[in-house]
Amino acid sequence: MIRIERPAWDVIVSHARSKYPDECCGAMLGSIDGAAKRVRIAVPMENAYSGPQGARYELRPQDLLAAESEARAKGMDLVGIFHSHPDCDAYFSDTDLKNSCPWYSFVVVSICKGEFDHANSFLPNADQTAADKEELIF
Ligand SMILES: [Zn+2]
């Protein structure tokens, strides 16, 4: 289960809306208590994918490392990654799976015609062959 606190959720949705019709991405910082995760801070990041960004995103490894240090400095953890799917369902694509990390939660936000529609969170397995949906509360 992953719970995203209101201020963090607002940052995620406004970042996703501002980047529409491109995909946005970012990191989620907070706490992990067994299977219960709580996101307190969302950190918008630049989509570093060099091609058309309407259906692809890429995170710079150094941006992720910076988010990890920020989390540690605040006594938090890097809980997961978020990205948006413009005019598309919030599913976990094959590309998403291939570019995932098994130890993070992946929140996908569907933005339809520039507005928030729905969101899901996924937990990729260790060999990145499948991702289970995880309960998402926001
Ligand atoms: Zn995706």
Which residues make up the environment of ion ligand 1, defined by Cβ < 5 Å?
Answer: 93, 96
Sign of the torsion angle spanned by Cα atoms 64, 68, 73, 75: positive
What would the pLDDT profile of 117-138 be if each residue is shown by its tens digit? 999 999 999 999 999 999 999 9
Percentage above 70 pLDDT, the chain: 100
Check: pTM over 0.85? Answer yes or no.
yes
Distance 32 CA to ligand 1 centre (A): 23
Distance 14 CA to ligand 1 centre (A): 17
What would the pLDDT profile of 11-28 be if each residue is shown by its tens digit? 999 999 999 999 999 999
Distance 138 CA to ligand 1 centre (A): 19
Distance 71 CA to ligand 1 centre (A): 24
What would the pLDDT profile of 31-53 be if each residue is shown by its tens digit? 999 889 999 999 999 999 999 99
Task: Measure the CA–CA gap between 2 and 122, rounded to whole angstroms.
Answer: 10
Confidence category of residue 116, pLDDT binned at 50, 70, 90:
very high
Confidence category of residue 4, pLDDT binned at 50, 70, 90:
very high
Beta bridge partners, 108, equal 83, 120
Antiparallel, parallel or unpaired: β 25-33 and 36-45:
antiparallel
Distance 96 CA to ligand 1 centre (A): 5
